[in-house]
A = this chain, B = another copy of it.
Amino acid sequence: MDDRQYLSEAVTLAQESVENGGGPFGSLIVRDGEIIGRGCNCVTGDNDPTAHAEIVAIRAACQTIEHFSLKGSTIYASCEPCPMCLAAAYWARVDRIVYAASAEQIAAAGFDDVVIEQEMALPVAQRSIPMERITLESVEKLFSMWDQKEDKIHY
């Protein structure tokens, strides 16, 4: 299968998701020519605002390979990943992202991907969700614990 075929399958997952009451998004993860994870948008059905197709597919793929790194993988997404899913792709260490619908198409369908991207690009003081930092002495101890932990696993 080539990029176009994998991506078509991601769109098929998105169509099935709509039929099943979910959002119109599907995704799959491919490594070495093998589909190792599939996901569709389950936000409303699962009461999970983080259950975007890409996040679900990344979690599924990591369970398949029993590792937290998807290095060597490509993520196929029916739509351009939102900032949450894009950052998740970085944390998952995927090699490539291939998508079909644009962020503008998703915005036209009523989703806040572009709104959230614009919010995150603003200076903190101008964003709609206030962020406040409170310094705590216990944080120093926390990082000292982490620094001294000899068997810590880097990700």
Q: How far is the CB of A135 from chain B (nearest CB, A)?
A: 7
Bound state CA distance, A19 and B155, in angstroms? Answer: 17
A21, A100, A110: most-surrounded residue (chain B CB, <10 A)? A100
Is A18 interfacial (CB-CB < 8 Å)? yes
15 contacts between A and B (CB under 8 A): A7-B134, A7-B136, A18-B149, A48-B62, A49-B62, A50-B91, A80-B131, A87-B87, A97-B131, A98-B133, A99-B132, A99-B133, A100-B139, A101-B139, A101-B143
Bound state CA distance, A138 and B8, in angstroms? Answer: 8
A12 closest partner in B (C-beta): B138
* Copies assembled: 2
Instruction: Report A115-147 CB contacts with B as 1/0, cut-off 8 Å.
Output: 010011100000001111111101101110111
Bound state CA distance, A84 and B121, in angstroms? Answer: 14
A121-B121, A129-B96 are known contacts. Are A90 and B70 too (CB-CB below 8 A)?
A: no
Q: How far is the CB of A99 from chain B (nearest CB, A)?
A: 6
Instruction: Report A45-75 CB contacts with B as 1/0, cut-off 8 Å.
Output: 0111110100100110011001111100000
